[in-house]
Structure 1
Amino acid sequence: MIILLFVVSSVVGIVSYYFWTWTYWRRCGIPGPQGYPFLGSALDMMDHENPPFLQLKKWTSQYGKVYGITEGLLRTLVISDTNLIHEVFVKQYDNFYGRNLNPIQGDPNREKRVTLFSAQGHRWKRLRTIANPTFSSNNLRKIQVTVEDSALELLRHIEQHTAGGKAIDVLEYFQEFTMDVIGRIAMGQPDSLMFKNPLLPCARDVFGKPRTALFLSGILFPWIGPMIRKVVFYFTNVFNNPAAQIMYQTANAVEQRIKQRMAEEKAGIDPGEPQDFIDLFLDAKSDDMELENNEDFTKAGVKVTRQLTKDEVVGQCFVFLIAGFDTTALSLSYSSFLLATHPKAQKKLQEEIDRECADPEVTFDQLSKLKYMECVIKETLRMYPLGALANSRRCMRSTKIGNYEIEKGVDILCDTWTLHYDKSIWGEDAEEFKPERWESGDEHFYQKGGYIPFGLGPRQCIGMRLAYMEEKLLLSHILRKYTLEVCNKTQIPLKLIGSRTTQPESVWLNLTPRDDN
């Protein structure tokens, strides 16, 4: 009888806790979609065919700029109010330094291969400080040579596959390009593997249809998340986990580089210039810093190592490979689509490229002169914000933003799509592709907190400058030789899919050789 009572009371307690979470926002007096008991809105936030970030936009139009959703045991406040966004991401960063992570992704305080994306508190600060020089102008200049080589290799494939006026899905080609670049600068890949890269299918799968059951188990039963993670990563082949396969390849590449460096050092060979991110991270050091622990981000007092561990090098190379592959390929695809559907803007950009990049080789300094191209890329990222998932934070200490009391453990998620189309920020033409809106500078958009394609505040994307360089360089080479045009396969408007990033289903275009070349 005692055992039965214990079991019954335990079940009642657990069920009550789930219902307490499910009704949390209603009890707080904050509106939002109720979803289903236990699940909340979890299924909507994992719908590959109906991107969750577009779903957020629909909910915002229904419930307003501040509303709450639940996903299993996660409580998330969705905001698109610029004052609140600035409060969370900048003013009160010390209270919101964590990220909304599924337990399947690992404990950011314990995971040996923690990435810069998932790390938090002082561990994040240390990783960021050490990694920052990797993306300095000097290192980007060195990387530019490799990026251009991959761009020229892609052009050779484009020339072969568009012979006779054939249309191509540029999304697939840009994925080949970005995987080739990131493989060479982050994975120790010595030569181009374009259209024969064994990692590309795995990377595509990472951003493909989500493994709903796996991620649901993480948010419904967070206490077993670490156990599930260990099983999935240990039995990689059984569970066909693409992220685990990429992590394995990354770890192998780092291990081989370490052995190579040790052998060269033993033989008295000068290491020379760093070959890629692996070398840069292995060599990376930060200034002396004194850190406390992740519980209080504002204090200092404990000295930590100035170099990355081997596992941390693996983690950073892994996350840069994943992030650098997908987002840059998507931005290139959206830019190409918008230029093809706005020929006047494309013509203006081609004239700028012809004027500033007259030599066969596009130099690092020439890229900085492409002002209109920068406007095109920024406007593309406004209309198609890619990694909106990154614009989330976890409250690490109970606080207040605006008129809202935020408890520790509550997540904040920006509705980036609503923000980027807000007519009070962008004007009545917010729905239109208008690169010229950026010609007078972008400071006022950033100051308003209305433009966050790379995030905002201290955790703004570290790879932003690399992404700009890749896009500018490849578009320069393509638009010097071709004019992008729509064809009968072009989806207008684009059909958008994806749960981790918002992707076009396809971007079929004609690349017509320019008559003036």
Structure 2
Amino acid sequence: MSFLLFPWISVAVLGVLSYYLWQWTYWKRRGIPGPLGYPFLGVFLDSISEELPGPLKVREWTKKYGKTFGFTEGLMKTLVISDPDLVQEVFVKQYDNFYGRKRNPIQGNSEKEKRTNLFSAQGYRWKRLRTISSPTFSNNSLRKINTTVEDCALELMRHIEERSAGGEPIEMLRFYQEFTLDVIGRIAMGQTDSQMFKNPIFPVVRKLFQGSYSRLFLIGAVLPPFLVEIVRQILLKTLKMGSFRKINVITMKAVEDRIKQREEDEKNGIEPGEPQDFIDLFLDAKADDVDHFGEDNGDFTKSASYTNRQLTTDEIVGQCTVFLIAGFDTTALSLSYSTYLLATHPGIQKKLQEEVDRECPDPEISFDQLSKLKFMECVMKETLRLYPLGTFANSRKCMRATRLGGVEVEPGTMVQVDTWTLHTDKSIWGEDAEEFKPESWLSDTDHFFQKGGYIPFGLGPRQCIGMRLAYMEEKLLLAHILRKYTFETGAKTEIPLKLVGAATTQPNSVWMHLKLRN
């Protein structure tokens, strides 16, 4: 019997191998340049290299192959672009053809996952989640949490004062991560007081952004489809992806505790007050009629599901979890890069301190005062131009066959923007494109954002929903620090910054001396 099966097994194996090789040469057969990598793997090994973070590797490829090129990772095909007109085409003009995100197969199916979040969802489900979540990040909502964010900033100031008193340098990236986790914990996770430098969840969340985790996560691209779910479950249960599962468990407990609290309050006749945090905001949208809505989250490929503006408990956990992860890393990195650039450009730092002194003279900094910090906003924009964050999120999945800049794009093809190249393109930003020049934002440069030349928070309908919260956090904390201290480099400061990571890019460290101002 085994002898009879052998020819069929051989044919099956040969078929699989042939298919992988056919996919490996996908771009070459279409006359599109790009790195070939290795058979079956494509550029996968380059993606997991510790020597150069993935986004910077893509920048190197752009220098070699041009503003439009392609590569494969196993069976996944990616077209890379860094032309602003094509960016505008993908993110805005042809949004209906590119409304999905580039997702690694090991992330699961966003249409079927009960806890699919705003970042992963697509189509009608994304539209529904976006509509429900948007009020959470409105100016009115941010004004209400301004006091909480400032309390976190003042708590960090106390730690800075203790650490800098002896003149020792401070690793600012770690301090900023403590700050951002405290903020998101208090506004999204039901945390009632500061847990700064004693939060048990800190090492769990931080592990998600370490290079080893990122490299492990990318393996899904090269696995045969029938192995993806098996490997995914192994990673979730036993390896680094266990961190994500732990965060989900912690979030679920916070949501369940809040549900119990609200039920007890209702029994005791206590009227619900203003929402305390994101959990309350999402619980107010929780599904009451599970029979109508369905615990399987319904079929979100159908437009009818969009009319239901309520959330399941699983969806609430999903939204809070993704806000925790996104809010922890990106804002801390933006603060770190801003700090480094200010310390290495003392004239710009002095000008910013003068603005802070002028616009924020009171001990407390109000929400309205933050809007007056125009030069600080220029500093933040320029920082994000030179050090764009989460750049692999600036990607889309082709949902319908279309044409992009002369290239026929098939459904299932991923389109990735090389944001690092885009943000320092001399044809857009001038010959000094790689210099730190925040004053340039004082002129009318917003048209760069509109035409696709500047995308630190993405572009189009799926632009980052947390942008205003990130700006508010950064302005509040930097204003408090710069009123009292001046950032100065020292022997431990890495100049230039050493950038590390795999799927993400971050500085290895940001050691700074904080000198008391006269």
What TM-score, normalized to structure 2? 0.95
Q: Deviations over 1:191-235 (max 9, x none)?
A: 0000001111111110002344553145322333233334444x3
Offset of residue 179 of structure 1:
0.6
Give the superposition deviation at 1:440.
Answer: 1.1
Is residue 306 of structure 1 aligned with residue 325 of structure 2?
no
Q: Does 1:424 align with 2:436?
A: no
| Deviation (angstroms), 1:283 | 1.5
Report the residue type matching 2:36 in the other structure.
Q
DSSP-derived class of the 2:44 partner: coil
Deviation at 1:130, TM superposition (A): 0.6
In the alignment, which residue of structure 2 is the partner of 1:403?
406
Secondary structure at the counterpart of residue 274 of structure 2: coil
Aligned to 2:36: 34
Q: Which residue of 2 aligns with 1:335?
A: 338
The residue matched to 1:334 in structure 2 has which SS? helix
Structure 1 portions without partners, runs of 5+: 287-291
1:157-185 CA-to-partner distances (Å, cap 9, x unmatched) read 00000112111111110001001111111
Q: Do the aligned partners of 1:77 and 1:413 also contact (CA within 8 Å) in 2?
A: yes
Aligned residue pair count: 507
Structure-to-structure mapping, 1:363-512, within 5 angstroms: 363-512=366-515
Distance 1:341 1:94 in 2: 44
Aligned pairs (5 A) from 1:33-432: 33-211=35-213, 212-213=215-216, 215-233=218-236, 235=237, 241-284=242-285, 300-301=303-304, 304-432=307-435
Q: 1:467: how far off? A: 0.1
**Aligned mates of 2:216, 2:5 — CA distance in 1:** 32
Higher alpha-carbon deviation: 253-262 or 368-377: 253-262
Task: Call closer, same or farther: CA 1:168–1:303 in 2, change over 3 Å.
Answer: closer
Residue 252 (structure 1) shift: 0.9
Tell whether the 8 Å contact from 1:38 to 1:220 is kept in structure 2 after alignment: no
User: What amino acid is the match of 1:268?
Assistant: G
Distance 1:52 1:481, change over 3 A: same
Out of 211-220 and 190-199, give the one that drifted further: 211-220
Contact 1:148–1:474 (CA under 8 A) maintained in structure 2: yes
Residue identity opposite 2:76 in structure 1: L
Deviation at 1:442, TM superposition (A): 3.2
Shift of 1:2: 3.7
Q: Say which SS state the counterpart of residue 266 (structure 2) adopts.
A: helix
Deviation of 1:143 after TM superposition, in Å, equals 1.2
Work out whether residues 67 and 77 of structure 1, in 8 Å CA contact, stay in contact via their aligned partners in 2. yes
Deviation of 1:285 after TM superposition, in Å, equals: 8.1
Asked if 2 retains the 8 angstrom alpha-carbon contact of 1:35 and 1:41, the reply is yes
CA–CA distance in 1 between the matches of 2:513 and 2:179? 18
Change (3 A) 1:240 1:284: closer
SS in structure 2 at match of 1:210: helix
Distance in 2, matches of 1:218 and 1:456, equals 26
Identical aligned pairs, as a percentage? 64
Preserved contact between residue 235 and residue 242 of structure 2 (Cα < 8 Å):
yes
Q: How far apart, in 1, do the equivalents of 2:461 and 2:18 lie?
A: 38
Alpha-carbon distance in 2 for matches of 1:504, 1:16: 41
Query: Structure 1 residue 64: deviation in Å?
Result: 0.2
C-alpha contact 1:123 1:294 (8 A) present in aligned 2:
yes
Contact 1:102/1:219 (CA < 8 Å) preserved in 2?
no
Match for residue 12 of structure 2 among 10, 13, 16: 10
Question: Conserved in 1, the CA contact under 8 Å of 2:397 and 2:412?
Answer: yes
Change (3 A) 1:85 1:210: same
- Determine if contact 2:211/2:500 at 8 Å carries over to the other structure: no
**Alignment partners' CA distance in 1, 2:25 and 2:313:** 44
Aligned to 1:289: none
**Distance in 2 of aligned mates of 1:378 and 1:359:** 26
**Residues 367 and 302 of structure 1: is their aligned pair in 2 closer, same or farther, counting only changes over 3 Å?**
closer
Task: Give the SS at the match of 1:68.
Answer: strand
Unaligned 5+ runs, structure 2: 288-297
Distance (Å, rounded) in 2 between the aligned partners of 1:84 and 1:26: 21
Q: Is the 8 A contact 2:137 2:465 kept in 1?
A: yes
Quote the residue 2:25 is aligned against: 23
Aligned amino acid, residue 63 of structure 2: S
Instruction: Give 1:421's aligned amino acid.
Output: T
